[in-house]
């Protein structure tokens, strides 16, 4: 699919109706011919960003590989809500082993397929815990060996499956059950955490990209690009979690967009350690607009707003904007809602 | 069963020597077992390897407790480790040194031993033939001359099997030279005489 | 062909003849020579259609094989000791997913204190994983068991661990008859996986199972493991018909005829033990040996049958469960309910097990003076001194 930068903006939303796009660029959820990697009837929460992200990523991969795809899944929400025995929501070849080993299992699948001479492509996938924490060693090994696997991290910034605990992807000031959620400072500390896309780039893997569920065509295009390449590849997708973030189920897409538009979550592509493209911010928002819609940041917005903490978070967003060049001539500045 | 214990230092090919001896005996139709003392010793540390030869299958896995022969690859181990522990009273000892047995001060350690002790300048022989101070192949030649347990040609073919080309040839030549050296001194000498 | 060869290299040759398609390992003493040799064969092109993958940990090694086996490739690894513990979560997963992976365990002690030498603590730590665990007495048997292991694993869709004593066997150079490749091919057909990760027939492997079905799933796996008690002798018999060698099986008796005392053991100590029993037989004592080749599934009926007439049973093993007794001893005692079973722990962390000590132990068993549990060649004085120094009560619990 070609990527068409959408310059259209309707008041209150960036969504563009299918009717405004060329046929080949339209999203065709209801097309009976469309691949449906993860079926309806899974047990994800309302508004689950991960279910949405996984569906679009894997459907795009199925299209890109002509259905010749095998997927290895780490333990986590995605695995639990999709395969309550004896039911499964997967319509694709799918294997789950453990929490921390999905990258290595994917390596093994790819090795077997290669030795068997079967042209089937492999995706490994995990949440942020299975990627940046417990699966990190295996993922680093998979990157370092340049194994022929696309690894996708569905990042919801914490251990949501087990009840919202801190991971190394939990952002500063976000409250989780282990940050610890008591007293006036229930949020995560500043100065910790792993930036996995940059760590992946440091491994010199062929392709690293970030995406959000707010821009599904961008996500699909990145999956397609990744599947056109061989060797180790990495895709990091921000997937808001209504349960863990304390946000409205209806706000998932909006939050993903605000994360990108604030600069909190930079959207870019890199090849062999060099950034090759960024998705510029069209309508720059201040971080408050993103933060205050989530209960995990509620302690910043009490009767005495924690302006110095918010300022530090704004500084992190600004640093991302500067690092990746996310603001260009076409970027507009939104006024703060109040 | 004939049991051999080889003492040396890490890097001198102590384990290789036991393995070569086992292969040589195997080629003569014997059952043979070679194994190291399983250490994590680094270069220069005292190390031990073992070898058993028998006409019957060998079942035991214990270290060689009562050796019939002891090969000492490094003379600096004398008086440093218990080289002769369990040595059969009528057994054999071959020590890598250019000195004479009588110069080594072994009388106290070999009280009651009526077997044969011989020295062999294996390091010098190795330097001459290999250009490197690796005495293990030469000492196997000396061992063959001293004990008659394996033939020299079995030793040299085991060496060539393990080390291809010039390296094998040079080691085989060192084994031959040491064999001649030990044999020319009248072969075995009874220590007690 | 009979070859004088190092145990590890012999294993590599045997594994190569089984035509593995994915070999993945992380180096740990005393397993290294095995994977070095296989890696060299792959690089030289001697092993056609095989991927050799170096990974960052044992955990990854077993995980890679979970993927490769699920995708239909014959898969092999080797490890030892801490490496087995590090991969243990994946070891369970492989069995739970019914993946016929074959693994060599070069038996080694477990720290702390760190120790690279041989005992069976590592194998015992994997006792409950759902793997078939076979123990080799010699390098010949280890080689033969590897060839049988692939057949067993694939017939039952259960992973198999071949245990061989680290250093004592892996590093010993001795005569081994390596079966010709065409004979192995005749014995071991190509791998036909029971379930396959395949887009043409997509299945979900590794679903979450709740309380309503978990017990049944586990019992089915247990029954399949018990099926191995019939499959193992069948595979061993077929192997014997092919090679002329009796290797493996469930248990093997030695001089058990009219024995009053039997010593039960596993692994390479059986050789020394047989020499010791020969010596005691020459003294007129009626003693024998029972070697346990299949440790899991535990061949309870075979043990009972073999020891039916034996009055006193000594279980000599290279591991124990601290605060309890010997692990194998507990299994044997359960099988021989009511009979005298004494537990002797020997060879921990590579302590040499000498024939002389074994002869003494057998003598004590015949005389009826062996305590319920003892440690062979323990330095009692040192233990007592340390106990006294820290103010513990006198004496050593035996």
Biggest alpha carbon distance in chain C? 70
pLDDT above 90: residue A30 = no
pLDDT for residue C266: 98
Closest to C296 (Cα-Cα) out of C118, C138, C152, C83: C152
Report residue C179 as tokens.
Answer: 């079966």
Q: Inform me whether the pLDDT recorded for A16 exceeds 90.
A: no
pLDDT at B43: 85
CB atoms within 10 A of CB C103: 28
Least confident of A10-14, A140-144, B91-95: A10-14
A199-227 confidence digits (pLDDT tens): 999 999 999 999 999 999 899 999 999 99
More confident residue, C146 or A5: C146
Three-class SS state of A250: helix
**Average pLDDT value for residue range C45-57:** 95
Which pLDDT band, with edges at 50, 70 and 90, does A99 fall under?
very high
Mean pLDDT over A50-65 rounds to: 96
> With the CA atoms of A198, A201, A207 and A208 taken in that order, what torsion angle do they form, in degrees rounded to the nearest 10?
-10
Q: Output b/e per residue, B135-167; b: 16+ Cβ within 10 A.
A: bbbbbbbbbbbbbebbebebbbbbbeeebeeee
Mean predicted confidence (pLDDT) in C154-160 = 98
Question: What domains are defined for chain A?
Answer: 36-333 (3.40.50.970)
Taking 90 as the threshold, does the pLDDT of residue A338 lie above it? no
pLDDT band at A337 (very low <50, low <70, confident <90, very high): very low
Do the beta carbons of residue A94 and residue A106 sit within 8 Å? no
Class of CATH domain B2-184: alpha beta
Predicted confidence at residue A12, as pLDDT, reads: 45
The C-alpha of A281 sits at a distance from chain C's nearest C-alpha, in angstroms, of 39
> What DSSP state is assigned to residue A249?
G
Q: Which of residues 49-108 of C touch B (CB under 8 A)?
A: none
> Hey, is A132 helix, strand or coil?
helix
User: Cβ(B28)–Cβ(B150) under 8 Å?
Assistant: yes
pLDDT at A234: 98
What is the greatest pairwise CA distance in chain A?
Answer: 64
One-character DSSP codes across C303-349 = HHHHTTT-SEEEEEES---TTS--HHHHHHHHHTTTSEEEEEE--GG
| pLDDT at residue A4 greater than cutoff 90 | no
Chain A, chain C: beta-carbon pairs less than 8 Å apart: 164
Q: How far is A122 from chain C (nearest CA, A)?
A: 11
List the chains bordering chain A where 3 or more Cβ pairs fall under 8 Å: C
Rounded average pLDDT over C331-341: 93
| Closest residue on chain C to A82 (Cα) | C207
Residues of chain B with pLDDT under 50: 187-193
Q: Which of A254-263, A322-331, C387-396 has the lowest mean pLDDT?
A: C387-396
Q: Which of A105, A172, A107, A106 minimizes the C-alpha distance to A309?
A: A172
A112, closest residue in chain C (CA to CA): C68
Overall average pLDDT of the C142-163 stretch: 98
Q: Do domains C2-243 and C251-389 have the same CATH topology?
A: yes
Query: Do C350 and C167 touch, CB atoms closer than 8 A?
Result: yes
d(CA A222, CA A279): 12
Report the pLDDT value the prediction gives residue A129, as an integer from 0 to 100. 97
Sorted by where each begins, the domain ranges of chain B are: 2-184
Contact (CB<8Å) A138/C198: no
CB-CB neighbors (< 8 A) of C21 in chain A: 112, 115-116
Q: Do C283 and C261 meet the contact criterion of CB atoms below 8 Å apart?
A: no
By C-alpha distance, the chain A residue nearest C217 is A85
**What pLDDT was estimated at residue B187?**
47
Residues of chain A in contact with residue C208, where contact means CB-CB under 8 angstroms, are 79-80, 83-85
Name every residue whose Cβ is closer than 8 Å to that of residue A133 and which is 6 or more positions away in sequence: A167, A168, A169
Chain B CA closest to residue C166 = B38
DSSP string, C337-357: TTSEEEEEE--GGG----HHH
The verdict on C259 touching A (C-beta cutoff 8 Å) is no
SS3 A31: coil
Q: In this structure, are residues C293 and C317 in contact, taking their beta carbons and an 8 Å threshold?
A: no
Could C172 and B34 be called an inter-chain contact, meaning their C-beta atoms sit closer than 8 Å? yes
d(CA A105, CA C93): 11
Cross-strand bridge partners of residue C163: C105, C135
- Distance from C-alpha of A133 to C-alpha of C338, rounded to nearest angstrom: 52
Quick one: pLDDT at residue A336? 47
Nearest chain B alpha carbon to C2: B26
Q: Which of A67, A83, A91 sits opposite C207 (nearest CB)?
A: A83
DSSP assignments along A317-329, one per residue: HHHHHHHHT---T
List C24's β-bridge partners, or say none: C53
Q: Tell if the pTM clears 0.90, that is, is over it.
A: yes
Across the range C160-167, mean pLDDT stands at 98
CB C73 within 8 A of CB A112: yes
Residue in C with minimal Cα distance to B41: C116
Residue C303 has pLDDT above 80, yes or no: yes
Our answer on whether B and A touch (3+ beta-carbon pairs < 8 Å) is no
Q: Are strands C160-165 and A268-271 parallel, antiparallel or unpaired?
A: unpaired
The pLDDT score that the predictor gives to residue C254 is 98
Pairing of strands C102-107, C160-165: parallel
Sequence-distant (≥ 6) Cβ neighbours of residue A242 within 8 angstroms: A45, A46, A47, A48, A248, A249, A251, A252
Residue B35 to residue C165, Cβ atoms within 8 A: no
CB atoms within 10 A of CB A197: 21
**Interface pTM, i.e. ipTM:** 0.95
Architecture category of domain C251-389 in CATH? 3-Layer(aba) Sandwich (3.40)
Nearest-neighbour CA in chain C from A297: distance (Å): 33
Q: Say how far residue C19 (Cα) sits from the centre of its chain.
A: 22
pLDDT at A39: 87
A60-96 per-position pLDDT tens digit: 999 999 999 999 999 999 999 999 888 999 999 999 9
Please give the CATH topology (third level) of the domain spanning C2-243: Rossmann fold (3.40.50)
pLDDT at A184: 85
Length in residues, chain B: 193
pLDDT at B188: 47
Residues 6+ apart with CB under 8 A from B182: B94, B118, B120, B141, B142, B145, B146
Mind listing the pLDDT tens digit for each residue in C349-380?
A: 999 999 999 999 999 999 999 999 999 999 99
For residue C151, pLDDT over 60 is answered with: yes
pLDDT digits (tens, 9 = 90+) for A163-189: 999 999 999 999 999 998 788 889 999
Spell A1-11 as b/e; 16+ CB within 10 A means b: eeeeebeeeee
φ/ψ (deg, to 5) at C274: -65, -40
> Would you give the DSSP letter of residue C162?
E
pLDDT at B190: 38
Neighbours of C375 (CB within 10 A): 17
- Residue C57 in contact with partner chain A when CB distance is under 8 A: yes
Is there a cis peptide before residue A86, judged by omega within 30 degrees of 0?
yes
- Contact: C67, A86; criterion CB under 8 Å: no
How far is residue A121 from each of residues A136, A223, A234, B98, C17, measured CA to CA in Å?
22, 12, 14, 68, 29
Q: How far is A313 from chain C (nearest CA, A)?
A: 36
What pLDDT is stored for residue C392 in this prediction? Answer: 79
Least reliable range by pLDDT among A177-191, C20-34, C208-222, C281-295: A177-191
pLDDT of residue A24: 72
For chain C, give every domain's residue range: 2-243, 251-389
Q: Check if the beta carbon of residue C89 is closer than 8 Å to that of residue C117.
A: no
**Whole-number average pLDDT of chain C:** 96
Tokens of B171: 């080691």
DSSP B12-70: S-HHHHHHHHHHHHHHTT-EEEEEE----PPTTSEEEEEEEEESS-----S--SS-SEE
């Amino acid at each position: 699919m070609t990527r068409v930068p959408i310059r259209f903006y309707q008041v209150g939303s960036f969504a563009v109706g299918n009717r405004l796009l060329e046929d080949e660029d339209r999203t065709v959820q209801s097309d009976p011919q469309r691949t449906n990697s993860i079926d309806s009837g899974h047990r994800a929460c309302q508004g689950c960003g991960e279910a949405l992200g996984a569906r679009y990523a894997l459907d795009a991969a199925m299209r890109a590989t002509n259905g010749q795809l095998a997927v290895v899944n780490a333990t986590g929400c995605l695995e639990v809500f999709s395969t309550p025995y004896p039911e499964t929501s997967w319509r694709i070849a799918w294997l789950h082993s453990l929490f921390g080993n999905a990258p290595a299992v994917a390596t093994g699948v790819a090795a077997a397929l290669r030795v068997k001479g079967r042209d089937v492509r492999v995706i490994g996938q995990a949440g942020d815990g299975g990627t940046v924490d417990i699966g990190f060693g295996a993922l680093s090994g998979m990157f370092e060996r340049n194994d022929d696997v696309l690894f996708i991290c569905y990042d919801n910034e914490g251990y949501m499956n087990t009840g919202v605990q801190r991971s190394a992807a939990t952002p500063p000031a976000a409250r989780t059950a282990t940050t610890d959620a008591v007293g006036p400072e229930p949020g995560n500390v500043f100065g910790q955490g792993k930036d996995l896309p940059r760590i992946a780039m440091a491994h010199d893997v062929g392709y690293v990209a970030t995406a959000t569920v707010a821009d599904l065509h961008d996500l699909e295009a990145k999956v397609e690009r990744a599947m056109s390449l061989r060797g180790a590849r990495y895709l990091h997708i921000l997937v808001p979690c209504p349960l863990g973030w304390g946000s409205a189920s209806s706000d998932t897409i909006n939050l993903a967009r605000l994360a990108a538009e604030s600069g909190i979550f930079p959207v870019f592509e890199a090849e062999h350690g060099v950034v090759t493209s960024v998705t510029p911010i069209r309508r720059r928002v201040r971080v408050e607009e993103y933060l205050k819609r989530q209960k995990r940041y509620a302690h910043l917005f009490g009767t005495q707003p924690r302006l110095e903490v918010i300022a530090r978070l704004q500084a992190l967003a600004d640093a991302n904007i500067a690092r990746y060049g996310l603001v260009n001539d076409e970027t507009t500045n939104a006024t703060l809602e109040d | 069963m004939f049991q051999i214990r080889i003492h040396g230092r890490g890097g001198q090919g102590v384990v290789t020597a036991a393995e070569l001896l086992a292969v040589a005996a195997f080629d003569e139709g014997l059952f043979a077992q070679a194994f190291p003392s399983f250490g994590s010793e680094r270069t220069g540390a005292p190390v031990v390897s073992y070898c058993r030869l028998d006409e019957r299958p060998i079942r035991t896995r214990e270290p060689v407790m009562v050796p019939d022969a002891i090969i000492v690859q490094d003379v600096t181990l004398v008086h440093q480790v218990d080289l002769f522990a369990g040595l059969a009273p009528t057994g054999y000892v071959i020590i890598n040194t250019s000195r004479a047995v009588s110069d080594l001060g072994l009388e106290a350690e070999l009280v009651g031993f009526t077997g044969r002790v011989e020295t062999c300048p294996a390091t010098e022989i190795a330097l001459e033939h290999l250009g490197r101070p690796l005495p293990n192949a030469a000492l196997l030649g000396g061992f063959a001359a001293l004990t008659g347990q394996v033939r020299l040609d079995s030793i040299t073919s085991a060496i060539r099997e393990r080390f291809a080309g010039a390296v094998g040839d040079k080691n085989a030549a060192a084994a031959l030279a040491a064999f001649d050296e030990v044999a020319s001194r009248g072969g075995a000498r009874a220590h007690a005489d | 062909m009979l070859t004088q060869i190092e145990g590890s290299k012999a294993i590599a040759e045997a594994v190569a003849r089984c035509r593995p398609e994915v070999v993945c390992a992380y180096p740990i003493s005393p397993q290294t020579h095995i994977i070095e040799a296989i890696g060299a064969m792959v690089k030289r092109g001697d092993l056609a259609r095989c991927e050799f993958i170096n990974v960052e940990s044992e955990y990854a090694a077993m995980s890679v094989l979970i993927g490769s086996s699920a995708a239909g490739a014959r898969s092999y690894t080797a490890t030892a000791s801490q490496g087995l513990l590090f991969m243990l979560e994946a070891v369970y997963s492989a069995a739970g997913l019914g993946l016929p992976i074959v693994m060599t365990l070069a038996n080694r002690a477990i720290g702390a204190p760190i120790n690279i030498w041989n005992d069976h603590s590592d194998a015992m730590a994997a006792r409950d994983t759902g793997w078939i665990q076979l123990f080799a007495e010699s390098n010949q048997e280890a080689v033969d068991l590897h060839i049988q292991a692939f057949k067993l694993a694939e017939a039952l869709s259960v992973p198999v661990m071949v245990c061989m004593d680290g250093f004592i066997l892996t590093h010993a150079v001795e005569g081994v008859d390596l079966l010709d490749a065409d004979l192995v091919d005749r014995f071991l057909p190509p791998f036909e996986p029971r379930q396959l990760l395949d887009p043409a027939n997509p299945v979900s492997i590794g679903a979450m199972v709740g309380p309503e079905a978990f017990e049944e799933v586990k019992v089915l796996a247990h029954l399949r493991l018990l099926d191995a008690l019939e499959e193992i002798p069948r595979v061993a018999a077929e192997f014997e018909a092919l090679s002329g060698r009796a290797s493996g099986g469930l248990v093997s008796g030695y001089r058990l005829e009219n024995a009053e005392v039997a010593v039960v053991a596993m692994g390479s100590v059986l050789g020394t033990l047989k020499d010791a029993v020969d010596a005691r037989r020459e003294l007129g004592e009626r003693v024998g040996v029972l070697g346990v080749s299949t440790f899991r599934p535990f061949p309870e009926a075979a043990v009972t049958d073999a020891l039916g007439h034996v009055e006193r049973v000594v279980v000599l093993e290279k591991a124990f469960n601290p605060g309890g007794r010997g692990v194998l001893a507990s299994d044997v005692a359960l099988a021989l309910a009511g009979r005298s079973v004494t537990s002797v722990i020997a060879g921990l962390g590579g302590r040499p097990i000498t024939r002389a000590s074994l002869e003494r132990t057998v003598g004590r068993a015949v005389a009826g003076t062996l305590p319920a549990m003892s440690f062979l060649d323990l330095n009692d004085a040192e233990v007592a001194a340390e106990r006294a120094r820290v103010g513990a009560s006198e004496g050593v619990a035996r």
